[in-house]
């Protein structure tokens, strides 16, 4: 299914031009218009899924291998030392475009800190784990 109001559906299916680095039957991989680092790419499924919870399992199984392929290509071609695979679900998690996408962010030696957090402490860890477990 495509969503006619979704910009990533239009980009993924070639209706809007993009800087495409890879395409197959299921995905288009494009450069992010507001890159966190040079080469920052987005893996877009050609079908519309709002987030990871809606993803078709067959499509989902192809995303990590594709992320690895793109990241390895970035290391060879751009000279980055590593890369992050980042994926946001819901506005509270920073998702701004409601069409599933996986960020592939090249990381360069001496580059800026990103995708980081300050470790905290959960005093009710057993209760927290039990709550999540009971909902699965």
Is 9 a binding residue for Zn ion by CB under 5 A? The answer is: yes
Binding status of residue 6 toward Zn ion by CB under 5 A: yes
101 labelled catalytic: yes
Is residue 102 exposed (0-12), middle (13-18) or buried (19+ Cβ within 10 Å)?
A: buried
Rounded Cα distance between 106 and 84, Å, is 7
| Catalytic residue selected from 40, 48, 99, 101 | 101
If one asks whether residue 23 binds ligand AMP (CB under 6 A), the answer comes out as no
Q: Does 7 bind ligand AMP (CB under 6 A)?
A: yes
The site map against ligand AMP for 86-105 (x = CB under 6 A) is --x-----xxxx--------
**Cα dihedral 99→105→67→90 (10° resolution):** -30
d(CA 108, CA 82): 7
Contact of residue 34 among Zn ion, ligand AMP, none (CB under 5-8 Å per partner type): ligand AMP
115 within 8 A of 84, measured Cβ to Cβ? yes
* Minimum separation from the CB atom of position 106 to ligand AMP (A): 14
Residue nearest to ligand AMP (CB): 34
The set of catalytic residues is: 101
């Amino acid at each position: 299914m495509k969503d006619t109001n979704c910009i990533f559906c239009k980009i993924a299916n070639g209706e809007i031009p993009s800087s495409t680095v890879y395409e197959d039957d299921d995905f288009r991989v494009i450069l992010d218009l507001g890159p966190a680092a040079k080469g920052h790419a987005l893996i877009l499924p050609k079908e519309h899924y709002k987030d990871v919870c809606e993803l078709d399992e067959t499509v989902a199984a192809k995303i990590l291998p594709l992320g690895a392929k793109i990241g390895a290509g970035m290391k060879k071609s751009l000279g980055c030392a590593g890369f992050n695979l980042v994926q946001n679900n819901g506005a509270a998690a920073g998702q701004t475009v409601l069409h599933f996408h996986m960020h592939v962010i090249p990381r360069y030696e001496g580059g800026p800190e990103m995708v980081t957090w300050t470790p905290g402490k959960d005093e009710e860890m057993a209760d927290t784990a039990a709550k999540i477990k009971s909902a699965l």
